[in-house]
């Protein structure tokens, strides 16, 4: 009977349209972020020199920033939706403890600090033929918009094939990453902090994603004794 009442309460909460939509969106977003995070780590591990794949590390930071925002947003949803089901109340307790933990607070703050610091870096890209150089910005006029307009003249308005898109994306990624590697030599302290902090972050973010998705997509689980004190260390993705 206890399990039946538990499930009935969950179904009743899910009948609230706004809460149902928020829960579904959160589940899908967390699952997508978890996939992107795994892909990002795989890409970094494949790199010949993991300390120079700064384009991928930028994506890594974006994933973590979005992850923190989504977890905090869903916690607010859980606490302001007038829920009755023990399953959702337990999840709210767990997420509340989590987002106020030192690990999560430091993760969120460090991510914001790193992005702000990296976005504040200024440098110039000098292109001559097939040679690209990078130097610190010294007040030179910004011609980027003019360059973009000029290049657009040589961009025929046609439907590119998937093979062409993939080739162009690969070339662009290669060029962008080389530019970032050169910029890293200009600002070794900032990029060095990025390397150091990302190594610490990788042990934190993977803990909550599969758990949150599991409970938000499987709210009919039988109740635990009292509120949830600890979730499983690792739950398989559906």
Same domain flag for 130 and 150: yes
Higher pLDDT, 237 or 8: 8
Provide the sign of the torsion angle of the four alpha carbons 208, 213, 219, 222, taken in this order: negative
The mean pLDDT value for 81-104 works out to 88
Same domain flag for 71 and 29: yes
- Domain-located, residue 174: yes
Q: Which residues span the domain enclosing 140?
A: 123-186
pLDDT score at 100: 93
Look at the pTM and tell me if it is higher than 0.75: no
- Domain-located, residue 43: yes
- Please report, rounded to a whole number, the percentage of residues in the chain having pLDDT higher than 90: 15
Question: How are the residues of the chain apportioned to helix, strand and coil, as percentages rounded to the nearest 5?
Answer: 70, 5, 25
In this predicted model, what pLDDT tens digit does every residue of 168-218 receive, in sequence order? 444 457 778 888 888 999 999 988 888 888 777 766 655 555 554 554 455
Cα–Cα dist 146/155, whole Å: 15
DSSP state of 160: -
Side-chain half-sphere exposure of 225, counting CA atoms within 13 A: 0
Same domain flag for 128 and 172: yes
Specify the 3-state DSSP secondary structure of 104: helix
- Number of structural domains, the chain? 2
- Domain-located, residue 140: yes
Name which of 28-37, 74-83, 186-195, 196-205 the model is least confident about: 196-205
In this predicted model, what pLDDT tens digit does every residue of 117-168 receive, in sequence order? 998 998 888 888 778 889 988 888 887 788 778 777 766 655 555 444 443 4
């Amino acid at each position: 009977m206890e399990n039946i009442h538990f499930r009935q309460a969950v179904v009743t909460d899910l009948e609230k349209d706004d809460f149902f939509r928020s829960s579904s969106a959160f589940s899908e977003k967390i699952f997508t972020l978890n996939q992107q995070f795994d892909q990002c780590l795989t890409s970094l591990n494949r790199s010949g020199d993991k300390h120079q794949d700064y384009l991928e590390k930028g994506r890594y930071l974006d994933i973590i920033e979005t992850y923190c925002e989504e977890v905090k947003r869903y916690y607010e949803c859980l606490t302001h939706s007038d829920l009755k089901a023990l399953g959702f109340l337990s999840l709210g307790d767990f997420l509340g403890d989590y987002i106020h933990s030192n690990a999560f607070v430091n993760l969120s703050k460090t991510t914001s600090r790193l992005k702000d610091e990296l976005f504040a870096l200024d440098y110039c890209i000098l292109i001559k033929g097939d040679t690209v150089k990078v130097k610190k910005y010294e007040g030179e006029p910004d011609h980027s918009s003019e360059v973009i307009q000029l290049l657009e003249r040589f961009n025929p308005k046609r439907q590119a094939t998937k093979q062409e898109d993939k080739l162009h994306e690969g070339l662009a990624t290669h060029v962008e990453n080389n530019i970032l590697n050169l910029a890293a030599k200009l600002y070794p302290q900032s990029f060095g902090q990025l390397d150091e902090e990302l190594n610490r972050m990788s042990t934190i973010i993977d803990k909550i994603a599969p758990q949150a998705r599991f409970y938000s997509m499987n709210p009919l689980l039988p109740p635990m004794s009292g509120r949830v004190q600890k979730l499983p260390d690792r739950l398989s993705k559906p």
